[in-house]
Amino acid sequence: MGRRRSRLALAMDLKPKAFALFERLSRVTRRSPLHLGFFPDIRPYPDRFVQVYQNDRYRMRLASPPYADVLPALAIDNWDVKLPSFAEADETIIRRFVGIFQDAIVPGHTLTPVDAESLAQLALDESRLANWNFAYPAPILFKRRVAEGLGIVLPPYPHYGHLLLDVLMPIAHALRLGAGDGRKLTIITKAHRIPLINAFVSGLRKLGHTVEVMELTPFDHAVVPELLLARSLCRNVERAYGLHESLPYLRSIFEAAYGPVSVPPSPLVYFSRGHSRLRRLLNEDELRHGLIERGFTVFEAGWGNHPQQIATFTQASVLVGVHGAGLANVAWMQPGAHLVEIFPSTFRKTTGLHWAAEHDLGYDFFLASPEGAMQSFSIDCAAFFARLDAIVTRSHLRP
Helix (H) or strand (E) holding 26: helix 15-26
pLDDT of 282 reads: 93
Q: What is the reported pLDDT for 396?
A: 59
54 and 15 assigned to the same domain: yes
pLDDT above 80 for 328: yes
Of the three residues 258, 278, 299, the one that is the final residue of a domain is 258
- Residue 13 is predicted with a pLDDT of 84
pLDDT-based confidence at 325, cuts 50/70/90? very high
Strand residues in the chain grouped as ranges (E): 41-44, 49-59, 93-107, 114-115, 121-123, 128-129, 143-146, 150-153, 185-190, 211-216, 220-233, 268-272, 297-300, 318-322, 338-343, 362-367
pLDDT at 5 over 70: no
Residue 55, in any domain of the structure? yes
For residue 332, give the CATH number of its domain.
3.40.50
Please report, in angstroms and rounded to a whole number, the separation of the first and last CA atoms in the chain: 40
Query: What pLDDT score does 3 carry?
Result: 57
pLDDT at 397 over 80: no
Is the pLDDT at 2 greater than 60? The verdict is no
Same domain? For 110 and 141 the reply is: yes
Model confidence at 294, pLDDT cuts 50, 70, 90, reads very high
Please give the single-letter amino acid code of residue 148: E
With pLDDT > 90 as the criterion, what percentage of the chain qualifies? 88
Same structural domain, 131 and 239: yes
- Count the domains in the chain: 2
In terms of Cβ atoms closer than 10 Å to its own Cβ (0-12, 13-18, 19+), residue 11 is: exposed
pLDDT band at 394 (very low <50, low <70, confident <90, very high): confident
Instruction: Give the pLDDT band (50/70/90) at residue 269.
Output: very high
Please provide residue 335's backbone torsions phi and psi, each rounded to the nearest 5 degrees. Answer: -55, 135
Q: Is residue 331 part of a domain?
A: yes
Distance CA 185, CA 224 (A): 12
E-strand stretches of 60-198? 93-107, 114-115, 121-123, 128-129, 143-146, 150-153, 185-190
How far is CA 195 from each of CA 158, 256, 330, rounded to the nearest angstrom? 11, 15, 20
Shared-domain flag, residues 136 and 32: yes
Check whether 398 has a pLDDT greater than 60.
no
Domain stops at, among 199, 234, 258: 258
Q: Between the CA of residue 200 and those of 169, 204, 222, 253, 307, what are the distances in Å? A: 10, 6, 21, 6, 12
* Average confidence (pLDDT) over 147-171: 95
What burial class does residue 63 get, using C-beta atoms within 10 Å of its C-beta: 0-12 exposed, 13-18 middle, 19+ buried?
middle
Q: Please compute the mean of the pLDDT values over residues 212-234 and round it to a whole number.
A: 97
Range of the domain at 19: 7-68+82-258
Residue 192 has a pLDDT of 87
Does the pLDDT at position 4 exceed 80? no
Residue-averaged pLDDT of the chain? 94
1: pLDDT strictly greater than 50: no
375 vs 49: which has the higher pLDDT: 49
In a domain, 367, yes or no: yes
Do residues 95 and 214 share a domain?
yes
Last residue of a domain, one of 197, 232, 258: 258
Task: Tell me the pLDDT tens digit for each residue of 343-393.
Answer: 999 999 999 999 999 999 999 999 999 999 989 999 999 999 999 999 998
Task: Please check the confidence at residue 8 and state whether its pLDDT lies above 90.
Answer: no
DSSP state of 4: S
254/276 same-domain check: no
Q: What average pLDDT does this structure show over 42-54?
A: 97
- At 10, the pLDDT band (50, 70, 90 cuts) reads low
